[in-house]
Amino acid sequence: MSFFEPGKSEDIVFIEKIAKTMGKGFGAADSFGTVIYPAAGQTLVLPDDDADTAELNGKLFCMVRAEGRDLWFFDDVPGGGEQGVESGLKALKIAAAFYTETVTASSTRRSEFFRQLLLGGKDQALQGDFTVNTKKNSPASEYTVLLVTLAKGKTPEDRERDGRISEVFTLLEYAFPENEGYVNVRIRPDACTVIVPLSEEMQFENALEAAESVIDTVRTELAIEITVSVGCRVKLLRNIDASYRTADRALAIGEAFDIGTGVYSYDSLGVARILYGQKRDVCESYLKEVFGVQFFENSLRVQEGETRSAGDEELIFTIKMYLKYNQNVTETAKALFVHRNTLNYRIEKFNKLTGLDCTEFEDGVKISIGFMVASYLETLQPQGDDGSSEKRVSRETGARSKKQQNKR
């Protein structure tokens, strides 16, 4: 089943059905007066915005509001004087009401259809290669999913009650309009998704840039911090659940390892994808091997319910920044707003405590991976008697422990 005919929007499909009962003079224009049916491109002078119906320049107009979009239905003025005008406006009102009801119902069905498809409910969605409206000159060759979630710090229930994800979703609908082939879905209380059709005009790299742009726009327009994770690419839309699963996993990995970019692409997570899922004892053993038992026990490890000392936190953050700036003392000192001598002192202190040399490339790589493992370790619950451990904080689907579920 196809929700849209290729190259034809759902709006036009519904308007065409209405036109069959309205007659040859019937048409529709957008809020700027550009005719979208029957022959796109012509521009009309529209009535004032505060008028729901009007007669102007030999035509009757009726405002249509549906799913956040304003349209004007119009028709030729019929004969019969005032009675004919009244009859014509009544017919346009009926057409507008039918269109609004149809579009609203279709949008609900469509949203639930794609939600089920994203969640892997192919038995509840129809089998086949489902398509969306894409541009005729740039058909989609692949699809990917952008998973948009609010930044950590509140429970899903709090986020839903605040309604903030609803604000984000509204903005996404403007940024990724459905008439250009995007599909926006409220996937769960704390998250929404955008299905992105990839083509020559919208390549995967462009999708990553779009994800970064979304973060900046939401931060600027709504003062809300969000995270965007990007799933793998799939050839067929019916397999889009694979992209959603990898986007969800990319979110969990990105947050667990404190990657901190704001955009987590599953295809670009590198070693974090390998490390994710390791047990607590494996992580601790590795950190002791890299940093030494004393530094791990006294400075790096964070016990349940505790925090690092200010001095340890400062030292670790300094080395992280030093590695981030490719072991460049000048650039790192500028970023930290400290004197070069202060930075060099902290580097020497770290090297003395760990027995490593963070100025060397090979040790720098080991330290970077070690810090990633340490961040991941902080998300794990203390290991049980059976050697298992649960993630303390994870929004990956199905990852909450039974204890967390009982609390909810």
Query: What pLDDT is stored for residue 59 in this prediction?
Result: 93
H or E element: which one contains 27? Answer: strand 27-30
Query: What pLDDT is stored for residue 398 in this prediction?
Result: 45
Domain boundaries, the chain: 10-118, 142-273, 277-402
CB contact burial 355-385 (16+ within 10 A = b; e otherwise)? ebebeeeebbebbbbbbbbbbbbebbbeeee
Query: Domain spanning 277-402 has what CATH number?
Result: 1.10.10
On whether the CB atoms of residues 211 and 263 are closer than 8 A, the answer is yes
> What whole-number distance in Å separates Cα of residue 148 and Cα of residue 185?
10
CATH of 10-118, one of 3.30.300, 2.60.40, 3.40.50, 3.30.450: 3.30.450
CATH topology for 142-273 is Alpha-Beta Plaits (3.30.70)
Domains 10-118 and 142-273 are alike in CATH topology: no
Residue whose tokens read 């067929």: 236
Question: Three-state SS for 64?
Answer: strand
> What whole-number distance in Å separates Cα of residue 301 and Cα of residue 307?
9
Q: Which phi and psi (to 5°) does residue 59 adopt?
A: -135, 155
Judged on CB neighbours under 10 Å (0-12, 13-18, 19+), 248 is buried
State the DSSP string of 164-227: HHHHHHHHHHHHS-GGGT-EEEEEETTEEEEEEEE-SSS-HHHHHHHHHHHHHHHHHHH---EE
- pLDDT tens, per residue, the chain with 408 residues: 333 333 456 678 889 889 988 888 999 998 889 999 988 778 999 998 778 899 999 999 999 988 767 899 999 998 878 888 999 999 999 999 998 888 877 777 878 888 888 988 655 544 434 445 555 445 788 999 999 998 765 555 555 545 688 889 889 988 898 878 889 999 988 899 999 999 888 899 998 899 999 999 998 988 888 899 999 999 988 889 999 999 999 998 988 887 766 789 998 888 888 888 889 999 999 999 999 999 999 999 887 777 889 999 999 999 999 999 999 999 999 999 999 999 999 999 999 999 999 999 999 999 999 998 998 888 776 655 444 444 544 444 443 333 334 444
Query: Two tokens at 176?
Result: 């990724």
